[in-house]
Structure 1
Amino acid sequence: MAQMEAPNQSFRYSDIVVAVAVLTTVIMMIIPLSPVILDMLLIFNITIAMLILLSTMFIKGTLEISVFPSLLLITTLFRLSLNVSSTRLVLLDGYAGQVIAKFGSFVLAGSVIVGFIIFLILVVIQFIVITKGSERVAEVAARFTLDAMPGKQMAIDADLNAGLINESDAKQRRKDIQREADFYGAMDGATKFVKGDAIAGIVIVIVNIIGGFIIGVLQRGMSIGEAASVYTLLTVGDGLVTQIPALLISIATGIIVTRAASEGNLGQDLTSQLFRRPKVLFIAAGLLALLGTIGLPPLPFFTISILLAILGYRMMKSEEKTAVAEVEKAQEEEMEEIKKPENVISLLNVDPLELEMGYALIPLVDAQQGGDLLDRVIMIRRQCALELGLVVPPIRLRDNMQLKPNTYSIKIKGVEVASGELLLDHYLAMSPGFEDDTISGIETIEPAFGLPAKWITTDIKDQAELAGYTVVDPPSVVATHLTEVIKSHAHEIMGRQDVQSLVDHVKQSHPAVVAELIPDLMTIGELQKVLSGLLKERVPIRDLVTIMESLADHARMTKDNDVLIEYARQSLARQIVKTYIVPGTNQLSVIALDPSLENQIRESIEQTEHGTYLALDPTQAQRILSALVSEVERVSQLGYQPIVLCAPIVRLYFKRLTERVVPQLTVLSYNEVGTNYEIQTIGMVS
């Protein structure tokens, strides 16, 4: 605790000290100072300048030294007061302390002209190069920072609404944005102090030289050469003592306004970004060595070339060691993660949909080899959303070395439900209903619908198409098979969380519908059972608003999911029947049920506390199925799609009776067809 309080004790009266120092700086312009005190203040000025420069080099963000604009004003005022004090001593006494005298004699080195030229060069560097650039950068930074404030504020609000940050973090980030805008706005004005300081330095030197020359010759009786030597030495020394700290602070100003986004301080950023590419160092070393061999001084060029080559070699070895260390660290972390007992839970995750492929089928996925299966998977999810109203979860594609090279496997919740085999250098040709002996290929079965087909080579593709065959490439075979599997198992894929997402989507546009149904009349689980029942018979659930309105109307009367499914189907009757209408007409061709058969099925329906089921004699059920299969085959040979039309109370139980034998059979009820369509009976099951 004592260690924590020590800094606070040290800076307890810092505000009073700074206030007194600023006032003293102003008073120094009026009250004469002794040469000893002036020496101490000049050294203090150099020290402050060095501290400011080093501080700007070690900060990671501009807000770490947000007081810099005010500091720039104070240091400028301090230097000007020192200029006034030193000018007073130079003109009155011809002596302004040891620091100014030593600086002047050291830099001049016996030549007044050389010293004056060096001083002018320093002033030009500060005024034209550093100060001018810093001023422009500060102006642009202030403008862009202010323009970007609304966007940053919106980004903070978006992160807050998304739950990525809490209210405290948002408040701090808003405060930082405001402080950053204030900082760059202040820096835009503060750079004018540095510019004015440089101009003042030039004016003071000229005044000192002219004034000293006049006083030396006219008042002190010095010769022209002696006066020029003494006062020029003192003036140049005075100028250097004050301009060197000014140059350091100008550099610090340039550094702080040119700092962009970084993760470390200036030194770390420079070394990590400038010397992290060994190839660059090797090329530079080679160019320097080449220049040293074509006539330029070999010693300096070869020396620097060798240093760069050594540095590049060390960087390359360091990168190799770092890469190896990262791989080893990743392996160790992976082993540690596996050993942790709590991470066993992650192994229990099961992907809703998976497509595993043998190694020979990897080119289907690799975009660099022309594979577009990933794009096709995206289109499949889009197609299922449009046709079924189902948001298909992400499909994981992976290779499986345990599969045969040309085989793929489709899994739902970790269990294989379908598979197929492809020949990548062939096309799959499906027969038009008759065989053409001129089309030769490898006999196979189309995996999606079980149709007879052939794998044919590329050179007879056009010939097969002219013969009436349907020819598709291997990626289309996989995509079609995957689409058919998703449609057939849509009721298994959709879970409660998916239903909740659909309900949330509906709630945005129809909140009253959702509020009426959930949770008072139905739970999410009960709604899922109804939607799954619809998807099981490939009834689209895209019009979820209509489905939920129908359920809200009837859920008060019954809790039987089977009955609710029938009500939902009736609300979607137009959408269901439209799929089976003969194009261009209102005609619906169906297979009817014998009235006595309907009565028999109706009388066999048993109702229990757990629901209803069909209690039909096995022998009778077998005769019904045999008659149905015969009728379906006859209708299919005539070119019609088999559709059974029956009474509403019978529809669901007849569908369940037949789905194992004729899984793709469409069963409609009279209530679904309505009176707008012309019914054509093309068969009867009796």
Structure 2
Amino acid sequence: MKFRDIAVLIGVILVIVMLVIPLPGEFLSLLILINIILALVVILVAMNTTEPLQFSVFPTLILLLTLFRLALNVSTTRAILSEGNAGGVVETFGSFVIGNNPLVGFVVFIILVIINFIVITKGAERVSEVAARFSLDGMPGKQMSVDADLNAGLITESQAKERREKIENEADFHGSMDGASKFVKGDAIAGIVIVLINVLFGMIIGVAQMGLSLSESVELFTRLTVGDGLVSQIPALLISTATGIVVTRSARGSNLSSDVTGQLLQFPKLLYIAAGTIFLLGLTPINFFLTTLLAAFLAFSGYWMEKKSVEPEQVTEEEEEETESTALKQQENVVSLLNMDPIEFEFGYGLIPLADTSQGGDLLDRVIMIRRQLAIELGLVIPVVRIRDNIQLQPNEYQLKIKGDKVASGELMLDHYLAMAPDFLEDDIEGIDTKEPAFGLPAKWISENVKDEAELSGYTVVDPPSVVSTHLTEVIKKHAFELLGREETKQLIDHLKETNPILVEEVTPEPLSVGDVQKVLSKLLREGVSIRNLPVIFETLADFARLTNDTDVLGEYVRQGLASQITKSFVKDDNALKVITISGKIEKAIADHVQQTEHGNYLALDPDQQQEIVQAIHKEAEKVSLQEETTIIICSPAVRMYLKQLLDRFLPQVVVLSYNELEPTVEVQSVGVVNIA
């Protein structure tokens, strides 16, 4: 334990001891001086902090200093009433203030107590209460502001985390200050009560036990009481003032001295008016020499400050030009241009209301929900989506970029709704023909006047923000595998390591590197398989990674390990799965043409034979699509990977499963068989 920690612990224990054990006068004098020093240090720190959180220990410190001060009051009261002496410091303070007139000195002391209690302490208590209330009420709005900046790409994840923590800490601090201000108020009240006790009982003890006359007793105990009250109230006044300074300060990035001098004297010409007013006062019976001297000082100060404020501006402009010229030549500014946002959403000026919260736009909030939804569905933390307008686009056009490449685009009509008709419904509603951007379905932009009619007719009617949100979601899902790099994979591995350290150690860095794990996870995402169940994925990798280092083959093993998850994503409530099966002839043709190399395996089918297989599958897939069913092909585990690679170039929407990826309880219903001549 450090010496500072031990010193604080000993100090707290000493405070408790002071409440019980009588202390000698000289030791009390030492503690009184320490109390004054601590109060001075506290108010100086409070004046030099630039924001409240820099002095976050202040509420607890108030409690400790208040307890210390009350313990001193108890000790000095015991010494005054029992011995008529509380040390040299108390005696000196009392004699200095009272002088030859105890009544005047006592009145001055009472005024000091009233100022501390009614003006400073009550004000600080009220400000603390209001600050705590507004801080708590403003937390949700501040949190939303952080989320909005994060989704707009203005800040990073780490910066957002720091700002959220700061908001929470500020709320905690103001709540603590609200409670701590009650200690300050209670201390002021206790000081008044202790003074009355010292005076009243001191006079009684002086007359009854010490044999003093009434006048001698009044003079002695008034002097000691005022001295004790001063050495207690001066630190209390400093702490109360520090409390008021801290709770009334706003975070401006500068301390109190800079703010006061910078803002109070920001208009030098006003000092001329003040100088003239003071000079006119000198024409009255007021001291002419003194007022003239002050007026001259104010006028000279105004002239000097006005001259000084002009010179720095000229220097600053020159410095800024030189700085900008130097900055343009620095290599770092060129390198920063190479940075690329993982996801960018750009839109024309006509779609600005989508993102402008002042116009009712909620796109930023929708993006937050999309990222949360995809984190749950895919098990991947989607990077921040940078949202910005682009004057090069058409007014109603938007586009989505993944790592700088345009992957999707669309057009919106903000004053219309998108209506999509079911296949069985005749398209007879009035509107502007278009296509739904996410799935390419035929649709129409309809006005609000016919919205109700379209809904009653069976149309699916969607507002523009929902259209673009759906499009964003589907595009990000489709390209999720591109967003998973080694850095993101490392973050997922570190997160898993917190709960499954042994499992992670068995897989990485040996026998698989982070890059190998990334390839396996990316392969799963490419086919729409969620990687959220990382423990099962790593369990499978731990079982098979020592048998093969081919990430494609490991991906197939992982798919089989996720059989329950894959099955539930396709099987409906009736526990039946309609599939297209592959003939043995096709499977044999694929298996016979798998080429094995040191860099992995690949399919080397004759182009004509490839085309024949693809056309046969396309023919069967069209039959299934007429029944509004997802096209699923099932085959043996040995050829699934190669068949999917073949279809990705021609029929990427077709799902290819192996028998090992389905649970035994699933009822597989064949709706077609793919065969070739």
The alignment's TM-score, normalised by the length of structure 2, stands at 0.63
CA distance in 2, matches of 1:76, 1:273: 40
Q: Does 1:472 align with 2:455?
A: no
Conserved? CA contact 1:489–1:536, under 8 Å: yes
CA drift at 1:410: 0.9
Give the CA RMSD over aligned residues: 5.5
Structure 1 residue matching 2:243: 3-state secondary structure: coil
CA distance in 1, matches of 2:555, 2:526: 11
CA distance in 2, matches of 1:133, 1:429: 67
Q: Does 1:255 align with 2:238?
A: yes
Partner AA of 1:413 in structure 2: K
Structure 2 residue matching 1:259: 3-state secondary structure: helix
CA drift at 1:478: 0.9
CA distance in 1, matches of 2:643, 2:243: 73
CA distance in 2, matches of 1:540, 1:193: 70
CA distance in 2, matches of 1:261, 1:593: 80
CA distance in 2, matches of 1:370, 1:83: 66
Structure 2 residue matching 1:420: 3-state secondary structure: strand
Partner AA of 1:506 in structure 2: L
Distance 1:339 1:562, change over 3 A: same
The within-5 A match list for 1:308-319 is: none
Conserved? CA contact 1:352–1:493, under 8 Å: yes
Q: Does 1:664 align with 2:653?
A: yes
Unpaired runs of 5+ residues, structure 2, are 1-24, 30-34, 48-57, 80-84, 125-160, 164-179, 208-212, 250-254, 266-297
Conserved? CA contact 1:53–1:248, under 8 Å: no
CA drift at 1:678: 3.0
Partner AA of 1:121 in structure 2: V
The within-5 A match list for 1:340-359 is: 340-359=330-349
Structure 1 residue matching 2:401: 3-state secondary structure: strand
The alignment's TM-score, normalised by the length of structure 1, stands at 0.62
CA distance in 2, matches of 1:617, 1:651: 18
The within-5 A match list for 1:138-537 is: 199=198, 250-260=233-243, 262=245, 269=256, 340-433=330-423, 436-537=426-527
1:577-627 per-residue CA deviation (whole Å, 9 max, x = no partner) reads: 33222x332322222223222222221111111111111222222222222
> 2:88 maps to what in 1?
78
Conserved? CA contact 1:131–1:191, under 8 Å: no
> 1:121 maps to what in 2?
107
CA drift at 1:125: 2.6
CA distance in 1, matches of 2:412, 2:578: 37
Distance 1:258 1:595, change over 3 A: same
Distance 1:250 1:339, change over 3 A: farther
CA drift at 1:506: 2.2
CA distance in 1, matches of 2:369, 2:321: 37
User: Percent identity, aligned pairs only?
Assistant: 43
Q: Does 1:647 align with 2:657?
A: no
CA drift at 1:553: 1.3
CA distance in 2, matches of 1:476, 1:362: 15
Partner AA of 1:396 in structure 2: R
Q: Does 1:600 align with 2:600?
A: no
Distance 1:493 1:261, change over 3 A: farther
> 1:614 maps to what in 2?
603
CA distance in 2, matches of 1:661, 1:501: 35
Question: Larger relative CO (CA 8 A, sep 6+): 1 or 2?
Answer: 2
CA distance in 2, matches of 1:163, 1:435: 54
Conserved? CA contact 2:199–2:222, under 8 Å: no
Conserved? CA contact 1:135–1:188, under 8 Å: no
Aligned pair partner of 1:638 in 620, 627, 631: 627
Conserved? CA contact 1:132–1:195, under 8 Å: no
CA distance in 2, matches of 1:432, 1:553: 48
Distance 1:202 1:116, change over 3 A: farther
> 2:280 maps to what in 1?
none
CA distance in 2, matches of 1:447, 1:52: 68
Structure 2 residue matching 1:509: 3-state secondary structure: coil
1:123-153 per-residue CA deviation (whole Å, 9 max, x = no partner) reads: 5435666589999999xxxxxxxxxxxxxxx
CA distance in 1, matches of 2:562, 2:28: 88
> 1:168 maps to what in 2?
none
Distance 1:589 1:202, change over 3 A: closer
Distance 1:77 1:264, change over 3 A: farther
Q: Which protein shows a greater Rg?
A: 1
Conserved? CA contact 1:643–1:666, under 8 Å: yes
Partner AA of 1:122 in structure 2: V
CA drift at 1:434: 5.1
Conserved? CA contact 2:28–2:87, under 8 Å: yes
Distance 1:332 1:594, change over 3 A: farther
CA distance in 2, matches of 1:131, 1:368: 45
My pick for the range that moved more, 333-342 or 461-470, is 333-342
1:632-664 per-residue CA deviation (whole Å, 9 max, x = no partner) reads: 222212333211122222211111111122111
Structure 1 residue matching 2:87: 3-state secondary structure: helix
CA drift at 1:528: 0.8
Partner AA of 2:237 in structure 1: G
Partner AA of 1:256 in structure 2: I
Distance 1:57 1:683, change over 3 A: closer
CA distance in 2, matches of 1:50, 1:551: 67
My pick for the range that moved more, 618-627 or 432-441, is 432-441
Distance 1:352 1:478, change over 3 A: same
1:64-83 per-residue CA deviation (whole Å, 9 max, x = no partner) reads: 9x999699979973366569
